[in-house]
């Protein structure tokens, strides 16, 4: 979600890429929550940190969004880049009815969107 909001709110100021530790499928609840914001990630292929390292990718900023409270492992990305951490709960771990999962995912989505907007509006950064 952070990738999509940075792309949407940051426009062409950034080349944005996200990656996880384990390859998997996209969470359908996240797909639905982002569609409510006019963002369609249907069919997007997940990328792993290992893929980016193998491709020799370099970044100006490396932003992790893993939830340290749940002991989720945050990826370590070698190489340059200023490191930022924005901890958010992982919607794939939400329990409850489909409506409760969507409500929780919306809360995380809205927090991520606000965090990205605040970062973009904050002190100067140099992509």
Asked whether residue 37 is assigned to any structural domain, the reply reads: yes
Asked whether residue 112 is assigned to any structural domain, the reply reads: yes
Q: 14-58 pLDDT, tens per residue?
A: 889 988 877 788 999 999 999 999 999 998 988 888 888 888 888
Which residues, in sequence order, are CB contacts of 68 under 8 Å at separation 6+? 74, 85, 87
Instruction: Kindly state the average pLDDT of the residues 65-87.
Output: 73
Q: What is the pTM of this model?
A: 0.87
Asked whether residue 126 is assigned to any structural domain, the reply reads: no
Asked whether residue 83 is assigned to any structural domain, the reply reads: yes
Residue 75 has what pLDDT?
65
- 64's enclosing H/E stretch is strand 61-64
Overall domain count for the chain: 1
In whole angstroms, what separates CA 57 from the centre of its chain?
17
Q: Is 50 exposed, middle or buried (0-12, 13-18, 19+ CB in 10 A)?
A: middle
Residue 72: CATH number of its domain: 3.40.50.2300
Asked whether residue 32 is assigned to any structural domain, the reply reads: yes
What is the span of the domain harbouring residue 10?
Answer: 2-117
pLDDT confidence tier of residue 124, bands split at 50, 70 and 90: low
For residues 81 and 105, give the distance between their C-alpha atoms in angstroms, rounded to a whole number: 29
């Amino acid at each position: 979600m952070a990738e999509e909001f940075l792309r949407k709110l940051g426009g062409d100021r950034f080349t944005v890429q996200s990656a996880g530790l384990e390859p998997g499928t996209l969470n359908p609840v996240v797909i639905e929550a982002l569609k409510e914001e006019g963002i369609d990630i249907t069919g997007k292929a997940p990328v792993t940190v290992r893929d980016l390292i193998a491709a020799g990718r370099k970044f100006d900023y490396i932003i992790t969004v893993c939830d340290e409270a749940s002991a989720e492992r945050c990826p370590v990305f070698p190489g340059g880049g200023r490191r930022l951490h924005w901890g958010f709960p992982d919607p794939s771990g939400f329990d409850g009815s489909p409506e409760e999962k969507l409500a929780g995912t919306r809360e995380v989505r809205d927090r991520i969107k606000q965090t990205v907007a605040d970062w973009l509006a904050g002190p100067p950064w140099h992509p």
